[in-house]
Each structure stands twice: as C-alpha cells, then as structure tokens.
A and B are shown apart, each in its own frame.
Chain A
Amino acid sequence: MTREVWITGQGLLSPLGQDLETTWAGLHDPAAIAAAADTGFLPPFTIFPASLPPLDKFVPKRGDQRAMGPLMLSGCVAAAMAMEQAGLAGAAPEVLKQINLMVGVGGGERDEKVDETILAALNGRDDGNLLAEQLQTELRPTLFLAQLPNLFAGNISIVLGVSGSSRTFMGEEAAGVDAVRVAFERIQGGQADLFLVGSAFNASRQDIPLLYQAGGYLLEDPKRPFWQRPKAGMCLGSAGAFLVIESRESAEARGAKPLARLKAVVNDRCRRDPGQATANAAREWAQVAPKPGCAVLSAATGVGPVTAEEHDFLLAKVNGPDQVQVRATAAALGHSMECAFVTNLVLAIKAARTGKLFPALTDDPVEAAPARDFDQVVVSTWGHRRGEGLALVERI
C-alpha cells in the first residue's frame, strides 16, 4: 500500500522569529540575520538564540509552564501551533487518541549552577562520598530530561492531549530525520493516519555546547566562509519545529486543507570515509527523484570537511542538468542539531507554496543559481558526524 502524505499543520520558532512568516521575512533581511547572532553568551563562540512567545496562549496552565524548561517549552509551543493550524487544537478525545506523537530530541536541561556548585565542592577530587552528599543536597526532586528524554513528548501529550502514541528518537541530526521518516512510512504503508512530529533544540546553554566542543566542532571565527570551514565550523542555533502530517484520506475526511505534500523521506548512515556520504546522498537523490529546477534547503552544519563534500555534491546539481537552487539555512539560523531537519521542512512548505526562495545566505557559487519558480523542495540533512537524510516537499 502506498498512500499520499499531506502536511496539514506547521509550527516554528527560530532565531529569526516566533513563527514561519516572521522567520521567512527575516531570511530576506541581512540586518535581521546579523542581529540574530549572539557572540556574548558563550565567547569565543557564536550562537543563535531564540525567544519564546508569551506562553499563555500555547501552554495555558501555569503548572505546565513551570514543569518545563526552554527546550521543552519550545517544542510544546511549536507543536501547539502545528495542531492549531491543522485544526486539531482542542479536538475531541476520540480524535486526540488517533494522533501519534513522534519526536527526535536530545537532552539539555541540567541545572548548570548546581553542577558548578558541586564542582567547586569537589575541587578536582574523585571523592564519591562527597559527591553523594553534594548531589543529595543540591539536586531537586523533579523529573529530569536527561533521565527521561521522553518527557519532552510526555509534556506535549499532557498539554495538547495527544494520546495515540508517543515515541522519542535520540541521536543528533538523524533522530529528527528518522522521526519524520518513520511517521511518513507508517502513513504511506497504511499503518497509521495522523502524526504530530517534530523537535526542538536550545543553544542557549553550556552543557550541550560543551559536548560539541569536546568533539572540536564549534566555530570561533564566524567570518569563515560557511561552505569551506574546518572541522570547528558549527554555530549552534535554537529552534522548535513541528508538523502535522497525515494520509490524504484522513485530511479529506476531517476537512483539513493541505499545506503541501510530503513526497519522500529517506535516511542512511555511513562511517564517513571519503565519498561515502556523497554515495548515500546520490542514491537517495535518485530514489526521491526530484524534478529539475527544484529548490534545495540544506541543513549543512558548517562542519568541515563534510560540509565541503555536501557543497560539491550540491554544486554539481546546480551546474548539471538538475539546475537546482540551494540555500544553507544554518548560515542564518545556526545549527539546531536534532531540530535542523524539521526546521527546514517547515521552511520548505513556504518555499513550495510560493515557488520562491529567500536570497542567498552565503557568497558561494552553490547559492548563486538564478532564481526561477519551482514547486518541489528537497530538504537535505547531512549530520555533523553521522546521517545523510533527504526529504521532498511538493506544492499541491
């Protein structure tokens, strides 16, 4: 069975705005993009923070607001937007029981002040008894995201009443791709009808950037050309992004209007020996078979040399018979890790509906193809370390 998959709702929070329209406008505005970059929070690194809208509209209960940190709130707000646009906000319990929740997220709500207090007390010693005493004094009796990452989804279920199912994928960029992919496959294969799927990432932290800096991935000089950076080429950016996707039959039965068609979602991995990622991407491109002249929203991370490899792959598509137009959104939004793919899917809806892109975000020839109208948008996601994913969004 192969069924058509429609996108009927979207929600987006980005460093450029608190919804898709504002973000889209910001992508046209070099001053807004420059203003979105923050060099003061985590010097010498640049991050792209995002702010939350007033919460009461999206998370009405104060208790729910208090139960979540910025990461979970970003997800909850974006999910609420997507549900509202799809006409599912406040739906009857019978409907909510049919909605499957799929998310791809990481951790990141440690109390950093507590960690620093305990480190000061330990003062470099491996003293288990002292650590035990400190942890028992300093930690609060609350549920903790790094212990239960499914709380991200659990809170969305509680706030929005979505109760069909709830699954959380982990594992950096690929987790975001696979969350959408598995939902897509289940709809296409007739196993389920209706999904709320998405992710969030909070760059305004220290624990998560510390992890990526331990890998040597954070960019110090933001003036380095995006597509040709060294390994230390990544600026993290905050985001929250959700979609409602469903079978065409489901959307028509409940009178929901499609925003776009989700034609394909594929993902694979390799050990990243030279050329392997390109081989994966080429195979996926052939499988997805986008029309010549389509747009490509790349979630390239800036991390070299893989970003340069993706650049070469895409430049061949720009100059060859595919004649694609490319934009690297992380150059304006920062890299939102698990959320990068879904963020670009939301942007792809707008691009597919209007047939137009925002101006080039880098000076590289890969973004210099002449503007022409299109009705298909490829979303390409090569993870900073693993995962090569591709999706195709199409105007209806």
Chain B
Amino acid sequence: MASRAVAVTGIGIVTSLGQGAEENWQKLVAGESGIHRITRFPTDNLRTTIGGSVDFLLEQPFSATQLSFALARTAAEEAIAQAKIGAPGDFPGDLFLASPPVEHEWPQRVRLDRQAPGQPHTYAGMMGAAAQAGEDLYVDFLNGTIADKLADEFGTKGSPITLTTACASGATAIQLGVEAIRRGQTKAALAIGTDGSIHMEALIRFTLLSALSTNNEDPTKAARPFGKGRDGFVMAEGAGALVLEDAEAARARGATILGYIRGVGEAADTFHRTRSNPSGEAIIRAINNALGDAGITPDDVDYINAHGTSTPENDKMEAFGIQAVFGDKAGDVPVSSNKSMIGHALTAAGAVEAVISILTLQHQVLPPTINHDGPQDIPLDFVPNEARPAHVDLILSNSFGFGGQNVCLVIGRNPD
C-alpha cells in the first residue's frame, strides 16, 4: 500500500529523572536511577515502598488526573516548541493521548462520605452529597478530561482520542498518529503517553498481583531488567510527547526532522489475562509485523529498546521473542531497557521510550541497562551498566501490555 513517510519533528519528556530531553538524556547515559522512596503517602506497612514518582511538577495534594495532565502538558509544550509547528494554541493536527483510567480516589470518597446527609459510609449517602460537592469531583474523574483540556490548551483538531492498551498504550498513541498521517487524514499529529497514577490503591493492587519489586533497600538497585534477581517492576510516572508529521509536509515547511516512525506492528495475545503464551506467538508476531510494516528484516535492526520491565515473566518472554525473531544473530543486537533507570511508567512507557529512541538516534549512543551485574542467564547483549557509542540507524522499540496487547515500533534516522 502506498503510504506516506512519517517524521518526528518534536519530542518532549518528563520522567522520574527530570524534565526535558536534555536533562533526561544526560542522566540516562550516565546510568542514573530516578527510583526513590515514595513520600506521597505513608508506606510504613507496604511491601513496596519505592517508585519513580514525579514529585517536582505539582504541589500536593493532587489526583492522578491532575498529575497526568500536568505531565502531558509539560511534555507536549516541549515537543511543540521544538517542532515550531502551528501557532500557540493552534496545533494543526489530531491528538492521540494514552492516559491512565481515572476514577474517584480515596480522598474524594472520604470527602463525599463526610458530607453525606445521612447513611454514613455508603454509596447512597455519598450520592446524597454528590450534587453539592463541587464540580471537580465530576470533571477531574471523567476519562475524557485530560485529552479535552489538552485539546483546549494546544488547539488540536478534531475529536481527541484517549486510549489505553495497558503498558503498550504510549506506543499505540504513536501508532494511531502514524496511521492517520499515512492515510492522508492529517498532516500532523500530537501523540502523548502520560501516567501520574502512583497512589496508594494502585500500588497495593499491583502488589497484590505480585507484580512489583520489593527490593526496597536501595531503590536505585530495584529495577533489574533481564538480570538475575529481578523480582518485579517499579511503578513510575512520566510522559512522552511526539510531534508526528507527514515527512513531505515537514520538509516543505523547513522543519528539522529528528527521525522517522518507519514501522508499526501489533498483535493481541489470547492466552491469559496477565501471562503471555509460552510460545511467545503474539510477541513474535508483533515484532514481525513492525519489521514487515517498515519493509526491513531483522538484520537491519541496530538496537532494541526493550519493554524490559524487570518482571521475571516479561523479560524471559521478551528475550525469547527476540531470540526467535533474530535467530543466530540475536546476541549481536544490543538490547537495553530504559526502565532500569526510570522505572515502568505504565501508560506513558511506550511514548517515553520512543522519545528516548529518538535521542538515541540523535546522539548515536545506546543508553545502558543498569543494575546488570553478576552472572547472566540470558545470552543477549543488554548494554550492561554503561552507555555505549554505536552506529544506530534503525531501532526496534517494544511495548507489551498486561491483558495481551503488544505493540512494536520501528524508529529510524532516515526515511527509507
């Protein structure tokens, strides 16, 4: 199918390491960790007490919606400023936002309960208080609100999309933008992944699923993707934003092109709600679909930005999938996980890692997988502990979600 090349002309990023591409890149190549003790709520009796929360954007208290919006806005401002596209408040394209689902949190429930005119500690009582409780209890907890506010602020066009494919969401946002540009529906798209949802219930729910690392002692050592002793992911917050453009249109307006989204691929796993098929079928299919979409072979891939969550299951299956697709040459392709440093920013991860992939292309340096010491049980090159200069033209960026959604992107320095 004839399709248009899609360029990236602006990037923005916020992670637990800091705000902006420059600060994040410096810390990533220095192998710094953004993981720290959680102070947002008491963790005295919790099994996990660490995270990659972003504590520098907003004054407490705030809801997940408020922080997710602030993260998305900050990243989008940076990306749009770099792209120099449109006019302030008039972005000439669609918005695709990956953001976490929202609902009332405990502070809101307690607030409603306190105001209940009768039937204390019940939903019926809260219902009696709701209409007078304040509109923030409604607007801030609609799933469409973050995108709606971003659409107002940046003046994006059309109906803004809010989406989730769990931990693949950020990559899906980019994929939707790429598809819209390829079919000629829009010349530009703003793709954002954001997640500011480290609150107590979320942390406890992931704990109950045994998904989180409990290596609390030294937070910076907890995320150990592909390493021995990895015991779960570290919840994190952040946002990544990309201005995507029809490459021809971008060149015509004299934009600086940072890289290209060369291929997108996806596959759903029908095996189990949290585990991937032991055959790796969907992971392999998603990678192959992305390579096929880009019109390249595994031999063309210079580096893999892994999903690499640091859970025993994901990393085993991802390494297996890479070995299956890349065969004998799997050991020659460097693979690293940004999550070793920034934690797992869940809904935002795919977009954050796409931004880091663009930075990798620009700097021709591979960010490391930190906390990679001791004997290895997987024979791949994980770029252990230290950043490495390299010639990088084509990057495969993987995102695999709980619930079986797998999305892979091929990001390139050149249009073809």
Contacts and interface: CB of A to CB of B under 8 A. Distances in A.
A168 B164 contact: yes
A260 interface: no
B161 A178 contact: yes
Contact of B121 (A97, A120, A151, A185): A120
B273 A141 contact: no
A91 interface: no
A122 B144 contact: no
A165 interface: yes
B46 interface: yes
A170 interface: yes
A350 B368 CA distance: 58
A213 B163 contact: no
A116 interface: yes
A225 interface: no
Interface string A180-194: 011001100111000
A101 B144 contact: no
Nearest to B182: A191
Given A128-B42, A174-B159, A157 B269 contact: yes
A137 to B, nearest CB: 10
A237 interface: no
A311 B76 CA distance: 38
A371 interface: no
B401 interface: yes
A389 B159 CA distance: 9
Contacts of B208: 136, 139-141
A163 B103 contact: no
Nearest to B159: A267
Contact of B159 (A136, A143, A177): A177
B161 A169 contact: yes
B326 to A, nearest CB: 22
Interface in B130-158: 130-131, 133-135, 137-139, 141-144, 147-148, 151-152, 158
Contact of B109 (A97, A119, A149): A119
A157 B103 contact: no
Contact of B103 (A107, A167, A171, A189): A107
| Interface range, A side | 35 or more
A163 B143 contact: no
Interface stretch (A78-86, A202-210, A301-309): A202-210
Nearest to B161: A178
B251 interface: no
B159 to A, nearest CB: 4
Interface stretch (B302-310, B391-399, B402-410): B402-410
A262 to B, nearest CB: 17
A182 B101 contact: no
A221 to B, nearest CB: 14
Nearest to A120: B121
Interface string A128-172: 110111011001110111111111011101100111111111111
Interface in B24-72: 41-46
A143 B209 contact: yes
A387 interface: yes
Contacts of A249: none
Say what secondary structure dominates the interface of chain A: mixed
A172 B142 contact: yes
Contacts of A126: 107, 110
B101 A146 contact: yes
Contacts of A124: 110, 113-114
B357 interface: no
A317 interface: no
Interface in A211-265: 211-217, 232
A4 interface: no
Given A141-B209, A162-B268, A170-B143, A132 B127 contact: no
Contact of B403 (A131, A151, A210): A151
A167 B163 contact: yes
Contacts of A120: 120-121
Contacts of A232: 131
A167 B109 contact: no
Contacts of B110: 119, 122, 124-126
Given A169-B162, A389-B159, A158 B131 contact: no
Contacts of A213: 127, 130-131
Contacts of B124: 206
Contacts of B113: 119, 122, 124
28 contacts: A119-B113, A119-B121, A122-B106, A128-B41, A131-B200, A132-B45, A135-B200, A147-B205, A150-B402, A161-B270, A162-B270, A163-B269, A163-B270, A167-B172, A168-B165, A171-B142, A171-B162, A178-B159, A185-B180, A185-B185, A186-B179, A191-B179, A214-B137, A214-B141, A215-B135, A215-B138, A269-B158, A271-B152
Given A128-B42, A139-B205, 18 more contacts: A67-B273, A132-B45, A136-B208, A145-B101, A150-B165, A153-B405, A162-B270, A163-B267, A167-B172, A171-B161, A172-B143, A185-B183, A186-B183, A189-B185, A211-B103, A214-B141, A267-B158, A386-B148
What are the 9 A-B residue pairs with the smallest beta carbon separation, nearest first?
A171-B144, A215-B138, A154-B403, A189-B183, A206-B123, A170-B143, A141-B208, A214-B137, A120-B121
Interface of B: 1, 41-46, 99, 101, 103-104, 106-107, 109-110, 112-114, 120-124, 126-127, 130-131, 133-135, 137-139, 141-144, 147-148, 151-152, 158-166, 172, 176, 179-180, 182-185, 200-202, 204-210, 266-274, 282, 285, 401-405
Interface of A: 1, 42, 67, 96-97, 101, 106-107, 110, 112, 115-116, 118-120, 122-126, 128-129, 131-133, 135-136, 139-141, 143-151, 153-155, 157-158, 161-172, 174-175, 177-178, 181-182, 185-186, 189-191, 206-207, 209-217, 232, 267-269, 271, 385-387, 389
